[in-house]
Amino acid sequence: MLPRHRKRQQEVLIVSRYRPYRRRWMLIAALTALAVVCGCQSRLISKDQEIQLGQDAGDDFERKQGRDRDPARNALVNSVGANIERAAEPPDYPYDFRIIASNQPNAAAFPGGRIYIFRGMIEAVGTNRDKIAWILGHETAHVARQHAVRRIERQLGYEAIIALIFKKKSAARIASAVGSLVVLDYGRDNEFEADRMGMLYAHNAGYDPTAAVAVLKLFQEIQGREPNDFGVMFATHPGNQDRINHARGYIEEMDWSGAYYTP
């Protein structure tokens, strides 16, 4: 048996040897408790972490899907995107508008500001800047209103948060999981909100916001024509007719009139 003071000294040594692990688990426990108590998971991912996560996941998404480098298409998307970025509401993010080399008419928003429009979507709307402005505005709203990061937190939970905090090896798997989540719709309320905010950003950026109605009608048409090949941006709940009605209602409320819809 060790003398009493030696025993205490040994305990101190054991505790100090495990201190980094204890600290880590204490932090995890504290974060978990905080989230459970206040239900405020979104505050657990800082803005910097959100931006980093979105960029990592976006890079992974691009590697898998391929990126369209056509100069004219990229110039168009970058110029409309820059105007939408200036009109977007705080919290501001470093928006980055890119084109995916896929013929599917679709678009997606990653947390932190990486926005993708698919080549198939640009081909579907032509080079119409009003229509592209609303599509980019809709996706930008998913970032600005933090729909994107909140979904990541809800769906991936603490594993993603902890991997981010401790830069675990599972980060690559999480980047891939983020990529598969962002191409899904965000649910009724968030989609309606993104439709409205997209129109507001487009209007504030100098575009005709009534183009939203024309794009939604086009979605409806494509969906009817190619039900298995339509992009997820419009394979949504709410359905297209609900979104058209909602967009018209917002245009009337804002007292706008434009080339694509006049109340």
Fill in the per-residue mask, 28 to 67: x = in contact with Zn ion (CB under 5 A), - = not in contact: ----------------------------------------
Least Cβ distance, residue 35 to Zn ion (angstroms): 26
* Alpha helix positions (H), the chain: 4-17, 19-38, 47-65, 71-87, 119-125, 129-144, 147-166, 171-182, 188-204, 211-225, 240-254
* Residue 191 or 208 with smaller CB distance to Zn ion: 191
Parallel/antiparallel/unpaired status of strands 96-100 and 114-118: parallel
Spatial separation of the C-alpha atoms in residues 160 and 140, rounded to whole Å = 23
If binding is defined by CB under 5 A, does position 202 make contact with Zn ion? no
Amino acid symbol at 185: D
DSSP state of 232: T
Strand partners, 67: 100
Spatial separation of the C-alpha atoms in residues 81 and 171, rounded to whole Å = 29
Fill in the per-residue mask, 160 to 199: x = in contact with Zn ion (CB under 5 A), - = not in contact: -------------------------------x--x-----
Least Cβ distance, residue 178 to Zn ion (angstroms): 16
* Residue 35 or 88 with smaller CB distance to Zn ion: 88
Least Cβ distance, residue 190 to Zn ion (angstroms): 7
Give, in degrees to the nearest 5, the angle at Cα 179 between 53 and 43: 40
Least Cβ distance, residue 246 to Zn ion (angstroms): 13
Spatial separation of the C-alpha atoms in residues 176 and 170, rounded to whole Å = 10
* Residue 168 or 242 with smaller CB distance to Zn ion: 242
| Site size for Zn ion (CB under 5 A) | 2
* Residue 52 or 238 with smaller CB distance to Zn ion: 238
DSSP state of 109: E
Asked if omega into 90 is within 30° of 0 (cis), the reply is no
* Residue 190 or 210 with smaller CB distance to Zn ion: 190
- Rounded to the nearest angstrom, the gap between the alpha carbon of residue 244 and the centroid of all alpha carbons in its chain is 22
Least Cβ distance, residue 140 to Zn ion (angstroms): 10
Closest CA to 172 of 56, 2, 7, 3: 56
Three-state SS at 74:
helix
Least Cβ distance, residue 252 to Zn ion (angstroms): 22
Nearest residue to Zn ion, scored by beta-carbon proximity:
194
Least Cβ distance, residue 194 to Zn ion (angstroms): 5
* Residue 85 or 191 with smaller CB distance to Zn ion: 191
* Residue 108 or 163 with smaller CB distance to Zn ion: 108
Q: Catalog residues that contact Zn ion under the rule CB under 5 A.
A: 191, 194
